[in-house]
Structure 1
Amino acid sequence: MNSNRPTDSLPAPGAEALAQSEALTDLIRGRIAAAGGWLSFDRYMNLALYAPRLGYYGGRAMKFGRRAEDGSDFVTPPELSPLFATTLARPVAQALQQSDTRQLMEFGAGTGKLAAGLLTALADLDVPFDSYAIVDVSGELRVRQRENIEREAPALAAKVRWLDALPETFEGVVIGNEVLDAMPVRLVVRKLGAWRERGVVVLGDRFAFDDRLVMPDAQIELIDATIDEANGEPFAEYVTETHEAALGFTKTVCTMLARGAAFFIDYGFPHREFYHAQRATGTMMCHYRHRAHTDPFLYPGLQDITAHVEFTGIAEAGVGTGADLLGFTSQARFLMNAGITDVLNELDPSDVKRFLPAANAVQKLLSEAEMGELFKVIAFSRGIAGTLDAFVGGDRSHTL
């Protein structure tokens, strides 16, 4: 059982942040009581991340940054290097041109660095576009996004707008960088052949896991068969996640997309790898002050809770709407195909203070031991013939 009390290995939050966490804890306790004493984990995760003003993305936590000292919890590729956005702009530009569209939309825009970088790079490539829409539930992040875009791309800031609701149809390019992994998941457990759903209860002054026997639904039955197929051996206990929210989101975006492309960049695996024995304890992970751990009850509202993406399901959800699967590959292959080494070579190697940090960041983006292999890129399209240059070499659609 897990505790929401601090541990010696993680820094304690300040008084204001702790008060926010305690308020969210009280809210969740009330929801558990209202649900009869047991709350499914996806509902807990949704509250912990998205409760208005109190959840991790609904509150004022720093979230994105390079170091724990700045109060942040994790770093994303756009924060790691501006060359990520400069390189991503190339397949985005190709998708805009091939679909004859002029709009962009980004989900979960973080600090706005990716938006600012894409705006600047597209302008440098002389690619015409009319607007850049951002969809983000965090009011605090919207403020940071606006500030960063106005500072880093002042001439293009007027093209950016923030949406509170999605349009019925959209023509252009959609970008979702590390969005799918932050969507609530159900936790399910197979013990001695019987399936249980893992929920949250109150145990004294703590939250704790509690497993309840469930009748397998279609999603669980598919997981059950895939686990056995992928491993060929029984497990006394196997913990994993179901991704209803991410699948529903993918369907919504691909249904909305009337013409253009949708790129999703995240960490995860196709289903046979996702349900490998190496992940028999699940992929749910928490991030707090640049340290990863597995206690989702530590400081509710002050830490990120994520799960790896099961990309086969994402592919099926998108294609099921009638969209085309544009491609699926590793982040390393995608960025190399898109020309990240050419972008790096545009810097002057003799400018050591600028070149060496840029080269080190590119190494992290491409290395199998860092982000290059674990992170994947999947894209869907309508109205684009064939594929894009970024997917020509190393496409892994056949593994889905």
Structure 2
Amino acid sequence: MWTTWRAAMERALYGRDGFYLRERPSRHFRTSVSASPAFAEAVLRVLTDLDVRLGHPPTLDLVDIGAGEGTLAAQILALTHEPPGHALAPRLRVTGVDLAPRPPGLPAEIAWRDSCPESVTGLIICNEWLDNVPLDVAEGTPQGPRIVLVNPATGEERLGPPPEPADLAWLERWWPLSPGRRAEIGRTRDEAWASVLRRLTRGRAVAVDYAHPVDNRPPCGTLCGYRDGTVVPPIPDGSCDITAHVALDSCAAAAPAGRTATHLTTQREALRALGLTGTRPPIELAHTAPREYLRALARAGEEAELIDPAGLGGFGWLCHDIG
């Protein structure tokens, strides 16, 4: 009955009849991809810049890890096919990576896999993927950290044994615990991110997620559940999404030494650098071209949501460049 949170999350999210193998994520929560096609346009700008920096390789990869319903991959593919045609279109190879089956209606040009390709030249993007990588939870006691065990059927918790040495070392460096405080042990996320970087031959890998820094970790952790657009108790029985924010700073440190250039920023700063400002159109346009004004106003609202520092704009962006 009692198990670690890592094992419970693995079964609840990805086991037989797990949440992500059974449910459409868009039914349950809003992401940057579903908020506006402006996000896909910004990612395409990253790809276009990478193509130049890499010397226009014969094949340029876009790999979307945690692709869900394939929306981002499909939007970017569609953008490259819009008249008069994009220079990347003949060379762009798009791959969605997810444990869920291939979504119905996904364009045939998009490959679908359950793991990242062995060699990638181009862009790997992991949008809200790391927060669903299962992890263990620890709580501080006067005798030191203890693993938190959970009853998957009810969400009831109790303290278990001390963490294993590797997890203790991670806690000491990245999330020191005092009695009564809780931490989500991010070592599994570090390993997952490092495995992605090993597949990147040349190009950029970007992780976009809820995040917190080592000098401002939440005292009680961030583990929570989502269902039907609402925060619910994180009961790991497969009935809801189970997620926890990501220590992106520790993921950054897990990159292979000497192979990467690293940049850690916010979605607000990243998207503003890519041209999304949320600037409202001039009011005069409402009188001279009302339909154009309304379209521009709607677009400004979408951009503003993507860069809102209290919302999606507060996401962390971790970027690694290789080669």
TM-score by length of 2: 0.86
Kept in 1: contact 2:278–2:300 (CA 8 A): no
SS at match of 1:268: coil
Cα RMSD after superposing both structures: 2.5
1:308 counterpart = 2:245: yes
Partner of 1:27: none
Distance 2:240 2:24 in 1: 10
Moved more, 123-132 or 301-310: 123-132
Kept in 1: contact 2:74–2:110 (CA 8 A): no
Partner of 1:97: 52
Distance 2:132 2:20 in 1: 10
Q: Deviations over 1:321-374 (max 9, x none)?
A: x431342211011001011239987xx87335533333222211111222212x
Q: Write the letter of the residue equivalent to 1:58.
A: L
Unaligned runs of 5+ in 1: 1-31, 33-37, 65-71, 150-156, 229-233, 384-400
Partner of 1:217: 165
Partner of 1:114: 72
Shift of 1:163: 1.7
Unaligned runs of 5+ in 2: none
2:272 to 318, 329, 336: 336
Change (3 A) 1:212 1:380: same
Distance 2:44 2:280 in 1: 14
Kept in 1: contact 2:222–2:245 (CA 8 A): yes
2:234 to 296, 302, 311: 296
Kept in 2: contact 1:49–1:301 (CA 8 A): yes
Change (3 A) 1:126 1:181: same
2:226 to 270, 279, 287: 287
Shift of 1:316: 1.2
Distance 1:162 1:213 in 2: 40
Partner of 1:236: 179
1:323 to 259, 270, 282: 259
Distance 1:227 1:251 in 2: 19
Change (3 A) 1:169 1:88: closer
User: Which aligned pairs between 1:247-262 and structure 2 lie closer than 5 A?
Assistant: 247-262=190-205
Distance 2:262 2:49 in 1: 12
1:127 counterpart = 2:88: yes
User: Which aligned pairs between 1:367-378 and structure 2 lie closer than 5 A?
Assistant: 367-373=308-314, 375-378=315-318
1:56 counterpart = 2:19: yes
Aligned length: 309
Shift of 1:117: 2.1
Distance 2:277 2:80 in 1: 18
Structure with the bigger percentage of helix: 1
Shift of 1:235: 4.1
Kept in 1: contact 2:63–2:97 (CA 8 A): yes
Change (3 A) 1:338 1:302: same
Q: Deviations over 1:30-77 (max 9, x none)?
A: xx4xxxxx311100011010013x111111x2321xxxxxxx211000
TM-score by length of 1: 0.71
User: Which aligned pairs between 1:85-234 and structure 2 lie closer than 5 A?
Assistant: 85-100=40-55, 101=57, 102-123=60-81, 125-128=86-89, 129-139=91-101, 142-144=102-104, 147=105, 149=106, 157-201=107-151, 206-214=154-162, 217-224=165-172, 227=175
